[in-house]
Structure 1
Amino acid sequence: MTKLPLIIGLAALLVVVGVGLYATEFTVYLGNDPTACNNCHVMDAAYEGWYHAGHQAWATCNDCHTPHALIPKYFVKAKSGMNHVFHFTLGNIPEPLRAKTESKEIIQANCIYCHQETVSRIADGQMDSGRYCFECHRSVAHGERGISILPYQDKGIYDPHSQSLQEK
């Protein structure tokens, strides 16, 4: 008799969680469909940039932004997903969106993984240890982005409104 409230509470919790998972189409986030990443309007520019850039034919969001091994991939997806839910729920969305150090390391490892043959030919396979691939190849995955905030970036090259680009 004393267990009845506990059983009813657990059943109610399961129903609430089940309805929540169904309503949010939770299973779409377990896959590799890039439109799942674009469910939040703050990702529109990143999605559009990827859709019109060179990697669209070869890689999805997870190919670059999560580890390739199964367990680390879903650990990163869960951790990132909870972070996104937290920030979106509270309305604390950073502008502009920037990758955290952990994300940058994952992206770098995936660049090298997919382009290992090319990387091995560059400087006898020695990467410039102080820079990420995407610092020079910024427009490859998400298209042109305008001026970079990196201090050593040549801002004239990447500014679509600069005089030097209009003259070319």
Structure 2
Amino acid sequence: MKKKVSMIAVAVIFVLGFIIGNGVYSLYNADALSYLSSDSSACNNCHVMNQVYADYNKSSHQSINCIDCHLPHSFVRKWVAKAQTGLGHAYHFTFDKDLPPNFTANADTKAWAQENCIRCHGDYAANSINPTLDSKHNKGSLDCLSCHQNVGHLRSF
């Protein structure tokens, strides 16, 4: 009986070691800690982002970080969004067989981009965009990306 318990313990330790070892290797190989930074080069860790990152480096917004446009700026919202988008990207790039991925913005990322355009370009936006955002225009209202969708990447994705 004692030998059976020790064999089970060895098997459990082996399996856990295998899982943890593969997890650590994957995190190291994916440069996972870079995603905790604000550095735009972290966005280029995946080869599917090469063209997006190359376009960003030629754009008028190359001097700001990706997260300045693509994530909310309050502390809690930023880290929740980083976790959600990061896990979503990891899942799709690992398990989704429909690659290359479709880089269309969802409702959250569109709202964050709009918020951040106004955060940096508020004086201009107040005079040109905000008049179209009143209640009678809500359905088809303009936002910054209606005209400037290519400003950060030189092409639509």
For this structure pair, what is the TM-score category when the shorter chain's length is used for normalisation?
0.7 to 0.9
From 110, 113, 124, give the equivalent of 2:116: 110
- Cα distance 1:44–1:10, how it changes in 2: closer, same or farther (>3 A)? closer
Q: How do 1:133-152 residues align onto structure 2 when only pairs under 5 Å count?
A: 133-143=144-154, 145=155
Deviation at 1:13, TM superposition (A): 4.9
Partner Cα distance (1:24, 1:34) in 2: 15
Partner Cα distance (2:123, 2:113) in 1: 17
Q: Which runs of 5+ in 2 are unaligned?
A: 134-140
The answer to whether the Cα contact below 8 Å between 1:29 and 1:36 also exists between their aligned partners in 2 is yes
Partner in structure 2 of residue 73 of structure 1: 78
RMSD of the alignment, in Å? 2.8
Partner Cα distance (1:113, 1:93) in 2: 34
Partner Cα distance (1:62, 1:118) in 2: 21
Partner in structure 2 of residue 93 of structure 1: 99
Secondary structure at 1:78 match in 2? helix
Instruction: State the Cα deviation string for residues 97-130 of structure 1 (Å, max 9, x = none).
Output: 211111101111111111112223x15x724221
Partner Cα distance (2:26, 2:97) in 1: 20
Deviation at 1:12, TM superposition (A): 5.9
Q: Which runs of 5+ in 1 are unaligned?
A: 150-168
- Cα distance 1:92–1:28, how it changes in 2: closer, same or farther (>3 A)? same
Partner Cα distance (1:107, 1:10) in 2: 42
Partner in structure 2 of residue 126 of structure 1: 130
- Cα distance 1:128–1:93, how it changes in 2: closer, same or farther (>3 A)? farther
The answer to whether the Cα contact below 8 Å between 2:30 and 2:45 also exists between their aligned partners in 1 is no
Partner in structure 2 of residue 163 of structure 1: none
- Cα distance 1:127–1:87, how it changes in 2: closer, same or farther (>3 A)? farther
Partner Cα distance (1:64, 1:101) in 2: 14
Partner in structure 2 of residue 158 of structure 1: none
TM-score by length of structure 1 reads 0.70
Deviation at 1:85, TM superposition (A): 1.5
For these two proteins, the number of residue pairs brought into alignment is: 143
Partner Cα distance (1:127, 1:106) in 2: 19
Secondary structure at 1:128 match in 2? helix
The answer to whether the Cα contact below 8 Å between 1:119 and 1:127 also exists between their aligned partners in 2 is no
- Structure 1 ranges of 4+ moved more than 6 A: none
- Amino-acid identity (%): 34
